[in-house]
Chain A
Amino acid sequence: MRVRARELRYSIAQREILAGLNFTLCEGETTALLGPNGAGKTTLLRILAGELTPQGGEVEFFGMDAKSMARHRAVLPQSSSLTFDFTALEVALMGRYPHNKGRETKKDVEIARAALNEAGVEHLAERIYTQLSGGEKQRVHFARTMAQIWEEPRLLLLDEPISNLDPAFQHKLLTTAKTFAARGAAVLVILHDFNMAAQYAEKLLLLSGGKLTGCGCACEVLTPESIEAVFQLKSAVVPHPYLNCPLVLPLNAKPNC
């Protein structure tokens, strides 16, 4: 059971954004999507999310009909524009909409609470969403997306989920995502931080100019050569002194400390 993309193509006004991508997202695995601005990461995510239809190629979702994926595919945006005074629990319960046709069942409430718990915000369940901090809001939405795809098969798409969070929240969120993947979800997360990707993702996809220039584990994808070629960034890659993964050290800065 997996999500498989074949020869994905997409262009806007003659400009090719995605030029024939092939990759697989496996259940139980966290995949990080890396690449410079304008590489096509967001376009790819929007195709996987069903917002855009690819002009060439196809995506196969667990062998299911792509039109009825709301119970099996959830998307966490970078930030959300909700400005109405729902409670955090009510927001999480919205994730259950594709599952209940009328009223929320007891099971829906249980799942929403479990998802809030998983995201580490169960203590905020009765609080008003709009009064929460940015990091808390993001985790409430994370709970909503997990509640949406509580049962298998499932695909979780995270669009730069940590860019507005402080370091502790960044690690918490990715830990939760990894745990969620380990329980049987295919997780794709757009990241900008090489080391976060190296520490949390089993597989890395490196996207550059609409093509996949790297695909594999962190030690295969994150090399000084590939980083220089894709990001025009000089760096050293050393083994992480404490964790079993590579550590990328950009070398552009000239500090005078």
Chain B
Amino acid sequence: MAKIGAKGVLVLGGALLGPVALGVLAVGAVGVSPSEVAWAMWSLVSGAEADTSSAIVSDIRLPRVVMAALVGAALALSGAVLQGLFRNPLAEPSLIGASNGATLGAVLFIVFIEGRIHGILPSWTLKFALPTAAFAFALLATRVVMRLASRQGKTSIATLLLTGVALNAWVGALVGLMFYLGTDTQIRAITFWTLGSLSGSGWWNVAILAIFLLFPLFYMPRLSRELNALLLGEAEAAHLGVNVQKLKTKAVAAVALAVGAATAFTGLIGFVGLIVPQMLRLWLGPDHKTLLPAAALYGALFLPLADAAARTLVAPAELPIGVLTSAIGAPVFLLLLQKSQAS
């Protein structure tokens, strides 16, 4: 790829945000022209009378695009941070238990809770009950994984990785069990959750997710220098004045918050946290000072684009976004890998 420098990559990403947003707002089951998108934006700002296509853009597509951007940024940034923490470019956000925990929470909720609280709680709360369960389990699972990987206040990164792998297998088994126990409707709900979806993203979801992501998204890039030092080795980082144990706790907590919140609203969206940082590392080099902001920025570009494809490829139906990210992600990843091996 062309050498445009670290700053150039960030500027390019920033400059692309606007056009990409306008582009993905225009595509979907109902065709909307770019001028209508612009008009919808204007009516949103000015409060002018909205027609049907403006309503589609501002009430349905815009929150969904913003949701996709937030989730994309959260997953890509979390992936980049964990790859630094594990000193392994192949680490991904699911390793610390957050996404597995969220899956567990969501699946248990779908099978055991959802039917029972139907009609008891006001119906608008139902939309948030599943994300709440998923988020709570995400944090809980990360806490348990961290606990199991720590002895005498010290966390072993190798044990953390293996514990995450074990949890992955265990949650997989439980999800399988739920397939056995659940009704057809529940099984369908579980399937869609594990494939990820951005449909049903209203402004409320966006607002709540934004609140939860505000802290981790701004906090994680601040860890960049300490993560750079950690790449030298744990002892070497400590010699450079880094409190390594504190760094591990801070990074894992921030990632759990970000991945837990994002996954709670959208289900499992695979590969974004692996491939976006990986591509950027090949492009920019391993320095977290530029890698982390770039991961957030390009994650925010990538997921709305992938979602736009998911909405249009089989319109009026929709592809699950997780299927699409993995379907695009895996070959691109292999291509890059081959290319970097060749050079």
A84–B89 alpha-carbon span in the complex (Å): 9
Among A70, A84, A86, A90, the residue within 8 A (CB) of B240 is A70
Given A84-B286, A86-B285, A86-B286, are A148 and B240 neighbors across the interface (CB < 8 Å)? yes
Interface residues on B, range: 10 to 19
- Closest chain-A Cβ to B294's Cβ sits at a distance in Å of 15
B287 near A70: Cβ-Cβ < 8 Å: no
Encode A87-107 as 1/0 by CB contact (under 8 A) with B.
100110011011000000000
Chain B positions within 8 Å of A71 at CB level: 241
Contacts A80-B232, A94-B232 given: A86-B287 contact, CB under 8 Å? Answer: yes
Q: How large is the interface on A (under 10, 10 to 19, 20 to 34, 35 or more residues)?
A: 20 to 34
Interface string of B240-256 (1 = CB under 8 A from A): 11100000000000000
Pick the contact of B233: A82, A90, A98 (CB < 8 A): A82
Within 206-238 of B, Cβ neighbours of A (below 8 Å) are at 225, 228-229, 231-233, 235-236, 238
Q: Which A residues lie within 8 Å of B235 (CB)?
A: 49, 51, 75, 77
- B157 to chain A minimum Cβ distance, whole angstroms, is 12
- Beyond the given pairs A68-B241, A84-B89, A85-B281, 6 more chain A to chain B contacts, judged by CB atoms under 8 angstroms and listed by A's residue number, are A50-B238, A81-B87, A83-B87, A84-B231, A91-B232, A94-B232
A74 contacts the other chain (CB 8 A): yes
Are A70 and B236 touching (Cβ within 8 A)?
A: no
Q: Does A73 contact B (CB under 8 A)?
A: yes
Residues of B within 8 A of A90 (CB): 285, 287
Which B residues touch A91, using CB under 8 A?
A: 232
From the candidates A49, A85, A87, A94, name the one contacting B229 in the complex (CB within 8 A): A94
20 residue pairs from A and B, CB less than 8 Å apart: A50-B238, A70-B239, A75-B235, A77-B236, A80-B232, A80-B236, A81-B87, A82-B231, A82-B232, A84-B89, A84-B286, A85-B281, A85-B285, A86-B231, A86-B286, A90-B285, A91-B232, A94-B229, A97-B229, A97-B241
The interface residues of chain B lying within 8 Å CB-to-CB of A148 are: 239-240
Please give, as numbers and ranges, the residues of chain A lying within 8 Å of B87 by CB-CB distance: 81, 83-84
B232 adjacent to A98 (CB under 8 Å) = no
Minimum CB–CB distance for B196 against chain A, Å? 30
Q: When A and B form their complex, what is the total count of cross-chain residue pairs whose Cβ atoms lie within 8 Å?
A: 61
In the complex, are the beta carbons of A75 and B225 less than 8 A apart? no
Tell me if A85 and B286 are in contact (CB < 8 A). Answer: yes
- Kindly list chain B residues whose C-beta atoms are within 8 Å of the C-beta of A49: 235, 239
A71 vs B238: C-alpha distance when bound (angstroms): 12
Would B286 and A77 count as touching, CB distance under 8 A?
no
Contact partners of B241 in chain A: CB under 8 A: 68, 70-71, 97-98
Interfacial residues of chain B within 235-292, with CB under 8 A of chain A in the complex: 235-236, 238-242, 281, 285-287
Q: Judging by beta carbons under 8 Å apart, are A97 and B232 in contact?
A: no
Q: Is the interface of B mostly helix, strand, loop or mixed?
A: loop
Interface string of B54-90 (1 = CB under 8 A from A): 0000000000000000000000000000000001010
Contact flags B86-101 to A (C-beta < 8 A → 1, else 0): 0101000000000000
Please pick, from B231, B236, B281, the residue contacting A75 in the complex, using a CB distance under 8 A.
B236
Q: Which residues of A contact B225 (CB under 8 A)?
A: 97
Name the distance in Å between B152's Cβ and chain A's nearest Cβ. 13
Q: Which residues of B contact A95 (CB under 8 A)?
A: 240
**Nearest CB in chain A: distance from B102 CB, A:** 30
Residues of B near A68 (CB, < 8 A) are: 241
**Which residues 41-78 of A sit at the B interface, judged by CB distance below 8 A?**
49-51, 68, 70-71, 73-75, 77
- Bound together, the chains give a CA A77 to CA B240 distance in angstroms of 13
Which of A49, A77, A84 counts the most B-chain CB atoms under 10 A from its CB? A84
| A80-B233 contact, Cβ under 8 Å, with A51-B238, A98-B240 | yes
- State in angstroms the CA–CA spacing of A73 and B238 once bound together: 11
3 smallest CB-CB distances across A and B, nearest first, come from A70-B241, A84-B286, A98-B241
Q: How far is the CB of B22 from chain A (nearest CB, A)?
A: 34
Chain B residues with CB under 8 Å of A87's CB are 285
**Closest approach, in angstroms, between the C-beta of A134 and any C-beta of chain B?**
16
Docked Cα-Cα span, A94 to B281, in Å, equals 18
Query: Measured between alpha carbons, how far is A148 from B229 in the docked complex, in Å?
Result: 12
* Distance A227 CA – B225 CA, assembled complex (angstroms): 46
| Residues of A14-51 whose CB lies within 8 A of B | 49-51
| Residues 163-196 of B contacting A (Cβ, < 8 Å) | none
CB closest chain-B residue, reference A68 = B241
Contacts of A81 in B (CB 8 A): 87, 232-233
**B228→A94 contact, CB < 8 A:** yes
User: In the bound complex, how far is the Cα of B239 from the Cα of A85, in angstroms?
Assistant: 21
| In the complex, chain B residues whose CB is within 8 Å of the CB of A70 | 239-241
Given the known inter-chain contacts A85-B285, A86-B286, please indicate yes or no for A74 contacting B239, CB distance below 8 A. Answer: yes
Bound-state CA distance A80–B234 (Å) is 11
Q: Residues of A contacting B231 with CB < 8 Å?
A: 82-84, 86
Write the nearest CB–CB distance from A69 to chain B, whole angstroms: 8
Provide the bound-state CA to CA distance between A146 and B311, in Å.
Answer: 56
Write the chain A residue with the least CB distance to B242. Answer: A97
The residues of A that contact B236 with a CB separation of less than 8 Å are 75, 77, 80
Contacts of A98 in B (CB 8 A): 240-241
* B218 → A minimal CB distance (Å): 15
Given contact pairs A80-B232, A82-B232, A82-B233, A75 touches B239 in the complex (Cβ within 8 A): yes
CA distance A73 to B89 in the complex (A): 30
Query: Which residues on the A side are within 8 Å of B228 (C-beta)?
Result: 94, 97
